Copies of this chain bind each other. A is one copy, B any other.
Amino acid sequence: MARMSLFRGLVAGCVFAVWGVAAHAETHSFEMTIEDAEITLVGSQTFHTFAFDGQVPGPLLHVKEGDDLEVHVTNFTTLPHTVHWHGMFQKDTWQSDGVPDTTQKAIAPGETYTYRFKASPAGTMWYHCHVNVNEHVSMRGMWGPFVVDPAVESDLEKSVTKDFILMFSSWASAWAHKPGEGGVPGDTFDYFTINGKSFPETQPMRVREGDVVRMRLLGVGDSLHSIHLHGHTFDVVRKDGHLLPQPYKADTLLLGPGERYDIIFEANNPGRWMVHDHIDMHTVNGNKPHGGIMSVVEYEEVGIDDDFYIWKDKEFQEDFYYENALTKPHGLHHAETFRGEPVE
């Protein structure tokens, strides 16, 4: 595994300007791997994944509209894979669309394939494998966030002070340690995660009064999710990366696999507010309630000291929602918290 870490270390953050393409367009060159890795959803429930750069979700790919990307993907697993850059036009580069047997041959174990394309259109996108999606995407964690900053933002977007990414997925524990199998009709999904973790091992989203908060909601697994935010009404601003002609207000949003919504709300109501899936079955771990897709928006103003608060002693982990990574310079940003254990 040292080999792969080295591999990643050597190439991280390779960014350089390209003259003559567009005023401010940059060219980014990245290396990514696909690795067998065991992650822990919650408690003792581990899962064998095929992990981008060894982590689930994969690293944040963050660029701006019009940038040129070159991504060399090396498959260190024993099964074929591809990468589909969900939402990208792939104008003049359809061979980089990542569909096996349609736009390319799948990347065989040990091989590298290079994807080259322009980051367009802008918005909240994602990348994922396109081989046997019923297993690889649904249950092997083969997805990561891909944010393309728009050349033009709405005024509401310009006002955002806190930015969170939430990727929702579901897992059938029967297949946890049977890579290459599963994701078939009759499966029982019994674990449900935000960014690969189930409550109470998810993290709070910390805000303070006056913040303008964006949540980027992504349906990346095989289940639907009906996401409810307590104590606030949010504006639904973008669908699949694209500005809606007019935002609309809601407190609960139904999200299908592959869909993305950007929602924005003003943090004007100090308190401790649940964010959770209102598909009630998605708030269990196995068959034990108060788990799955649940988190809390914590206002700094109210603190976490109440005796009754389940997270009063919680060890807070920054960047669980990529909130720090999103503020860094454009690039491919890894997170130790999402890294799995290598599987030989």
**A residues in contact (CB < 8 Å) with B:** 84, 86-91, 94, 97, 99, 101-105, 121, 130, 132-135, 137-138, 183-190, 219, 222, 224, 226, 228, 230-233, 239-260, 269-274, 278-281, 283-284, 286-287, 289-290, 296, 302, 308-311
Show 8 residue pairs from A and B whose CB-CB distance is below 8 angstroms, ordered by the A residue: A89-B232, A97-B274, A102-B296, A105-B308, A185-B281, A222-B279, A226-B259, A257-B279
Query: How far is it, in angstroms, between the C-alpha of A179 and the C-alpha of B150 when the chains are bound?
Result: 52
Hey, which chain B residues are within 8 Å of A249, CB to CB?
Answer: 239-240, 242-243
Cross-chain contact of A90 among B246, B269, B279 (Cβ < 8 A): B269
CB distance from A228 to the nearest CB of B (A): 5
Q: List residues of chain B with CB within 8 A of the CB of A121.
A: 233
Residues of A contacting B: mostly? loop
Q: Provide the residues of chain B in CB contact with A189, threshold 8 Å.
A: 185
- Nearest B-chain residue to A250, judged by Cβ: B240
A191 to chain B, nearest CB (A): 9
What chain B residues lie within 8 Å of A250 (beta carbons)? 239-240, 242, 259
In the complex with contacts A258-B226, A273-B94, A286-B185, A281-B103 CB distance below 8 A: no
User: Which of B133, B248, B296 has a CB less than 8 Å from the CB of A283?
Assistant: B133
Nearest-CB distance from A59 to chain B (Å)? Answer: 22
Q: CB distance B134 to A271 under 8 Å?
A: no
Q: Provided the pairs A230-B97, A242-B233 are in contact, do residues A280 and B105 lie with their beta carbons within 8 angstroms?
A: no
Residues of B within 8 A of A290 (CB): 101, 132
| Interchain CB contact under 8 A, A278 and B257 | yes
- Tell me the complex Cα distance, A162–B286, Å: 44
When the two chains form their complex, are residues B273 and A97 in contact, meaning their CB atoms are under 8 A apart?
A: yes
Q: Determine whether the beta carbon of B185 is less than 8 Å from that of A226.
A: no
Assuming A87-B251, A240-B251, A245-B248, is B272 touching A102 (CB within 8 A)?
A: yes
